[in-house]
Chain A
Amino acid sequence: MGVKSITTLLLLGLAVFSFAPPGTAQANDVAVIVSPGNPTTNISLGELRKTFAGAKRVWPGGQPVKLVTRGPGCPERLVLLRLLAMSEGEYKQYWTSQVFRGDADAEPLVVPSVGMQKEALRLFPGAISLVAVGDVKPGMKVLKVDGLLPGAPGYSLH
């Protein structure tokens, strides 16, 4: 293969990546989901951080917050750890201390699948969770974060 062929291939590849649809970036976004009956539609990043840190324990309507998370290694879990600026070990220790302080009754519920996330949203009206935007299903209400939906430019959870 000559130098010209390689150059042509590289240029073609560059062109393909340059004109890739914006949906490619959106696919990495992680949506904040709640139960369909939850009246909240928008949440600030700060509020979201407080909620997943257990500092905000009640929804504006009075419903207790129920945290539902995915297990270690999942993309949603990595986004959660970035949101809280913690490592996996720090996260576990943080929640043990939250419970031991009496600031939380139990650690967040960990579910192994999207289906169980959906079930948890049905079971707990105050549930909140993170899900990869490609896994959003009917029965999951997606919240805006700082006024932005997943996929919008400037959306912060990915």
Chain B
Amino acid sequence: MPRGRVRADIRGAILALLLVSGSSRAQDAGPSSSNQASDQETFAQLVEQIKQLQQEDHDLQERIKLLEAKQPQASPGTESNPSSPLAPPQSPEETPAEQIPPAPATVAVPHDWHDVHGIQFRGFGEVDYKVLNQRQPELGTDGFVPGSAGNFYTGDFGLFLTSRLTNKTSVLSEMVFEERDAQKYDVDLRRMLLKYDYNDHLKMSFGRYQTNIGYYNWAFRSAAWLQTTADRPLIMEYASNGGLLPTQAIGVSVTGAIPSGKLGLNYVAEYGSSDTVRPDINGDGLFTDENNGNQTNVGLFARPDILRGLQIGASYYHDKISNIVVNTPAVVQLFPPPGTPGSSVRYGQTIVNGYVVYVAHGIEFLNEGFLIRDAPLHLDYSVFNTPAFYSQFSRQIGRLRPFFRYQYVNASSSNGIYDDVSLRFGPSFGARYDLNDYISFKAQLDHTARRGEPDLNGLQLQFAFTF
């Protein structure tokens, strides 16, 4: 809008306000003290409105000046024909290239990326129904009610925001509302990152991140809609839901491509502070506070050009943790289960991961293996090795994606950190049906064999959606 027009509009608006107020005063001609007070109030409002309009006028003038200063000088001839000798075939109705008047040479380069892109906002959610053939809950979080063989719950509801600040910096945040007991919701800031992408080889993130241990964490984050299955494999479950891995940390994460030609190598390096508190998954109501130190995680993965969709990777994680058992609602430290070294023992925790995945042509084939090694520091106690793996295969057939998954976790019953997990293994199978691009319905059957416990069967139904 031209500057003169803006001024004229504002003056017109002021005049109209004065006229309206004047006419209303004429209609209320009867003198009274209440009218006088009302008039004073009206005048005060008008003065305030005039001040606001003047301020808006001033702001608009400043903005026009700013935009004019930003506008690059026109330089004739920057518009060019294709630089190649290519002479694209012309359709009969198309104007010959020579006759096309050159477009304006001024290129409106967006200087302020935040203004151009604003804040990108997305959301993810899920509504679940789970039935078990026992009344004691497994993964007793997510709103699953102890004592009930089956009930509805809402899982994670996530709000995801990104905003580009400059050419190379951006902000990302992910807030998740997790259903807890009695349908109370916890807010978890799963990710909050200030990102700086220097180039394809060096991308840095500062803040709270999801540890890049393995493929699943990286690929699916916390959105059920992105997953094929209704739940995550136990080994990849969030620590706050009873998972075994330290899934969150605050610190710095660096990643990028390694010049490697058709091998497509990438690296990831993370250094940060975790504070993992994981609930026991056997429904005893206890928590293990790992009191982590600062963790280091490094990984490499390759996406070779020779087979599109193939990704092979490995990572190495190290931290120092405790096996303190607490009852968090009462913040009472409890005695550890019999056989454990002691409640304040510190362990050096090393997690080694390797994976081979293939995702292309409608096929999803995920295979990941882990070895979690907990070695007591400064004490001559047992070293606990916890191997785990999962394998998942699915195939898209139209809107339907049937899947099969097999998982295995073997933690020592004497391991004070994972004694609630012990040995668990078994298959899951089911299907995901995409109702449209935003909503999917999943049905999943699970069979889990457990050491010292009866086998567990479960059915899970889920609506997962994004918006």
Contact = CB atoms under 8 A, between A and B. Distances in A.
Interface string B241-273: 000000000000000010000100000000000
A123 B226 contact: no
A64 B162 contact: no
Contact of B466 (A96, A138, A140, A141): A96
A77 B78 CA distance: 29
Contact of A64 (B79, B109, B167): B167
A63 B81 CA distance: 22
A105 B434 CA distance: 25
A46 interface: yes
Contacts of B83: 36, 41, 141-142
A152 B3 CA distance: 53
Contacts of A134: 88-91, 94
Given A100-B226, A101-B221, A139-B103, A150 B88 contact: yes
A140 B86 contact: no
B254 to A, nearest CB: 13
B119 to A, nearest CB: 11
Interface in B104-124: 107-110, 117, 120, 122, 124
A26 B89 contact: yes
Nearest to B83: A141
B97 interface: yes
A142 B100 contact: no
B427 interface: no
B226 A93 contact: yes
Contacts of B262: 46
A133 B94 CA distance: 13
Contacts of B191: 102
B91 A122 contact: no
A53 to B, nearest CB: 9
Contacts of B94: 134
B82 A142 contact: yes
A27 B90 CA distance: 9
Contacts of B170: 105
A87 B421 CA distance: 40
Interface stretch (A1-9, A10-18, A54-62): A54-62
B172 A102 contact: yes
Given A92-B437, A136-B86, A138-B100, A99 B81 contact: no
B197 interface: yes
Interface residues of B, number: 61
A123 B80 CA distance: 15
Given A102-B172, A150-B88, A56 B81 contact: no
A89 B434 contact: yes
Interface in A43-85: 46, 49, 55-58, 62, 64, 85
Interface string B211-248: 00000001111010110000000000000000000000
Contacts of A56: 200
Interface residues of A, number: 49
A30 to B, nearest CB: 11
B309 interface: yes
Given A58-B200, A85-B309, A87-B396, A141 B82 contact: yes
A75 B362 CA distance: 21
A97 interface: yes
Given A85-B308, A85-B309, A100 B223 contact: yes
A37 B78 contact: yes
B80 A139 contact: yes
Contacts of B100: 137-138
B195 interface: yes
A125 interface: yes
Interface string B403-443: 00000000000000000000000000000001001000000
A87 B437 CA distance: 12
Given A96-B466, A102-B191, A142 B362 contact: no
Contacts of B81: 138
Given A57-B200, A134-B94, A97 B219 contact: yes
Nearest to B191: A102
A37 B466 CA distance: 38
A23 B100 CA distance: 23
B110 A118 contact: no
Given A58-B200, A123-B110, A141-B82, A105 B88 contact: no
Contact of B195 (A64, A102, A140, A151): A102
Nearest to B434: A89
Contacts of A137: 97, 100
A93 B226 CA distance: 7
22 contacts: A31-B86, A31-B88, A49-B308, A55-B200, A62-B199, A64-B168, A85-B308, A87-B396, A92-B437, A97-B223, A99-B160, A100-B226, A102-B195, A122-B103, A123-B109, A133-B88, A134-B89, A136-B88, A138-B79, A139-B80, A141-B80, A150-B86
Interface of B: 78-86, 88-91, 94, 97, 100, 102-103, 107-110, 117, 120, 122, 124, 160, 162, 164, 167-168, 170, 172, 191, 193, 195, 197, 199-200, 205, 218-221, 223, 225-226, 257, 262, 303, 305, 308-309, 360-362, 396, 399, 434, 437, 466
Given A55-B257, A99-B162, 8 more contacts: A87-B362, A89-B396, A97-B226, A100-B122, A122-B107, A134-B91, A139-B80, A149-B84
